[in-house]
Structure 1
Amino acid sequence: MGDRERRVVFITVGTTCFDALVKVVDSEEVKQALLQKGYTHLVIQMGRGTYMPSEASGNPDLEVEHFTFSPSIADYIRGASLVISHAGSGSIFETLRLGKPLIVVVNEDLMDNHQSELADELAERNHLFCARPRRCERPSRGWI
């Protein structure tokens, strides 16, 4: 990677299973979009999911790593250039407190999805960008 500035995208799904989000960010299409935007690292916190992200990308200029849980994700958020998160209030507010750009993807499989209301309201107030997995299956150029 030479002297390129380290630019990290951190993905977090919290303690839930959100394989739909992990699969999308693990796709070569998204990885290529990240590279085009100048990102150098993709770190995926995959929670209770069963989908295993690949350890590498099709391009050596994007380093990929993943893990299930961490006692605290604050350091990951702090080191990120961009955070892509599930709609959990803890992840949202911690990211916003640290002033990081945030894309929230609503897990529509959750029962009584109050997270959607929070994400939609904060997006309406321009604090974050809100997406749905169905719209993310074929990410548009403006998504990242």
Structure 2
Amino acid sequence: MTSVFVTVGTTSFDELIEAITSPAAVEVLKARGYERLVLQVGKGALLPGPAICPQICLQAFRFKDSIAEDIRRSHLVISHAGAGSCLEALGAGKPLLVVVNDKLMNNHQLELAKQLHSDSHLLYCTCSTLIETLKTMDVSVLQPLLPGQPSNFAHFLDKALGIR
């Protein structure tokens, strides 16, 4: 079953949960071939049940020890712009649409989303542009985020400190 996994991390982002479960968003997801929507809603006030989106298989939960399996099973990840959530989805090689919370002041998350977007690793939008982004997105243009190479930094430090 083709699925979308939505995560807000450990925070609260009810506006994203409302936007992705809106009839218009669900209609776009269905038109794009998605049959299942899994929501990790965090500390938010909302915990939607299947009745809110009868045209798609909906599952929602607040927290789990790990969302790695949910990400692995998904065909598209939609995430808040937290660095941990972004890196986990990108590390799993999943197409990622980041929804920036434009209600936050001094929003450093926008900087992260813009940079990763300019490097062709993800797509991003806000809640107000989510439906249009879902309609027009082309995840085939996304490039994988290559794993880091911490040994390069360790070698640099060794050389700088005269250990090597």
Smaller-chain TM-score bracket: 0.7 to 0.9
Q: Which position in structure 2 is the counterpart of 1:24?
A: 19
Structure having the higher helix fraction is 2
Corresponding position: 1:55 with 2:50:
yes
| Matching of residues 29-44 of structure 1 within 5 Å | 29-44=24-39
Q: Which position in structure 2 is the counterpart of 1:109?
A: 103
Which of structures 1 and 2 has the bigger CA Rg? 2
Question: Quick check: 1:28–1:58 contact (8 Å CA) kept in 2?
Answer: no
TM superposition outliers: structure 1 runs of 4+ over 4 Å: none
**CA deviation after TM superposition for structure 1 residue 121, in Å:** 0.6
Q: TM-score, normalized by length of structure 1? A: 0.87
SS of the equivalent of 1:103 reads: strand
One-letter amino acid of the counterpart of residue 51, structure 1: L
SS of the equivalent of 2:58 reads: strand
Q: Which position in structure 1 is the counterpart of 2:6?
A: 11
**CA deviation after TM superposition for structure 1 residue 97, in Å:** 1.0
**Structure 1 portions without partners, runs of 5+:** 1-5
Count of residue correspondences:
135
Q: Distance in 2 between matches of 1:134 and 1:32?
A: 16
Question: Quick check: 2:47–2:61 contact (8 Å CA) kept in 1?
Answer: no
Corresponding position: 1:131 with 2:129:
no
Q: Which position in structure 2 is the counterpart of 1:99?
A: 93
Percent identity between the aligned chains?
43
**CA deviation after TM superposition for structure 1 residue 102, in Å:** 0.4
Q: TM-score, normalized by length of structure 2? A: 0.77
Question: Quick check: 2:101–2:126 contact (8 Å CA) kept in 1?
Answer: yes
